Amino acid sequence: MARLHFFEFEDQSWFPGLLRAQMTDYLVYAVRQLRSFPSYAASRLAPALRARGQRRLVDLGSGSGGVMPEVVRALADEQGIQAGALLTDRYPHGAHAAEVREEPTGRVDFHPDPVDATHVPADLHGVRTLFLSFHHFRPEPAREILADAVRAGSGIAIFELTERRLISILGSVPGIPVMVLLLTPFMRPFQWSRLLFTYLLPILPFLIFWDGLVSHLRTYSVAELEQLVAELDAPDWHWDVRRERLPGMPAACTSLVGYPRADPAPESASSTSRS
Ligand SMILES: C[S@@+](CC[C@H](N)C(=O)[O-])C[C@H]1O[C@@H](n2cnc3c(N)ncnc32)[C@H](O)[C@@H]1O
């Protein structure tokens, strides 16, 4: 299936911030049900952090924070890496997200100013991460995001749960409105506006359905990510692209992890592995 870059509401500067926040809040709540995802992400991030002893993640397109608080805890508890994370977004609204505010290690912060993932400020150092947000970028800016991480020497990791395959789309997208209706009463903090836009004027089920469908249609395949990597000038970098099932979950994750080798060898070629 060819990649289709249809319109997503979340990308629009005119889109009301309240609805944007409620959509990304839902995403956090839904993805947190995939219990093994943070541990999986931590295991994929650990080599990038260890390669050059880095201890900071700079997350791009963070929305309401995603599962970053859980990833930071999994890095500490399961990988022995005491890392911190700076969450950023082009439309920053996640600073008040309960999971970020109440994160017990205090090592997860939200950057208050807008950060466009295609123009990361030079003073934001750390391994760059994009959770469920790389599909927002067409191939040229997507390549530039990878190239800029290489220039910054920082390492980069991308995680996508959506997939551009009919079986994946049919298996998850039609159920989105029902899931929104079922999960909303359990979301915290409680907001009357969330109930209003879910049950009385049910636009959130539609908005989340639409952006979910378009996210699937935009998601890069393993082969396309490998192609983007192959076009980079990064001979001393290690690259690992794969799609694999999340342990114990009825879901899979496409991920790309790239980082400068700890001991760069001038003659070495970049390596790409997939499973
Ligand atoms: C699908 S949400 C993912 C949120 C979060 N990473 C998570 O896992 O829940 C995508 C986010 O990307 C942000 N975004 C879209 N275009 C962006 C850009 N050019 N630069 C930075 N963030 C962007 C949107 O505002 C939105 O918050």
Residue with the smallest CA separation from ligand 1 atom 7 is: 66
Q: Which two tokens stand for residue 181?
A: 């209706």
This prediction's pTM: 0.93
- Cα–Cα distance between 252 and 100 in angstroms, integer? 25
Residue 114 CA: nearest ligand 1 atom is 21
pLDDT of residue 193: 94
| Whether residue 252 has pLDDT greater than 70 | yes
**Secondary element (H or E) of residue 109:** strand 108-110
pLDDT digits (tens, 9 = 90+) for 78-130: 999 999 999 999 999 866 666 666 677 778 999 989 999 999 999 999 999 99
Residue with the smallest CA separation from ligand 1 atom 9 is: 66
Q: For ligand 1, is residue 136 a contact (CB within 6 Å)? A: yes
What are residue 198's phi and psi, to 5 degrees?
-105, -40
pLDDT of residue 274: 42
Q: Could you tell me which of 92, 93, 45 has the C-alpha nearest to residue 68?
A: 45
HSE toward the beta carbon, residue 170, CA cutoff 13 A: 3
Q: What is the best residue among 9, 24, 28 to mutate for testing ligand 1's pocket, by most ligand atoms within 8 Å of CB?
A: 24
- Residue 110, strand partner residues: 87
Q: For ligand 1, is residue 212 a contact (CB within 6 Å)? A: no
pLDDT of residue 188: 86
pLDDT digits (tens, 9 = 90+) for 215-231: 999 999 999 999 999 99
Helices (H) and strands (E) in the chain, counts: 10, 8
Q: Which two tokens stand for residue 226?
A: 């490998």
The CATH number of the domain covering residues in 17-166+221-273? 3.40.50.150
What are residue 108's phi and psi, to 5 degrees?
-115, 120
| Whether residue 55 has pLDDT greater than 70 | yes
Query: How confident is residue 269, by pLDDT bands cut at 50, 70 and 90?
Result: very low
Residue ranges per structural domain of the chain: 17-166+221-273
CA of 118 to the centre of ligand 1 (A): 12
Residue with the smallest CA separation from ligand 1 atom 15 is: 11
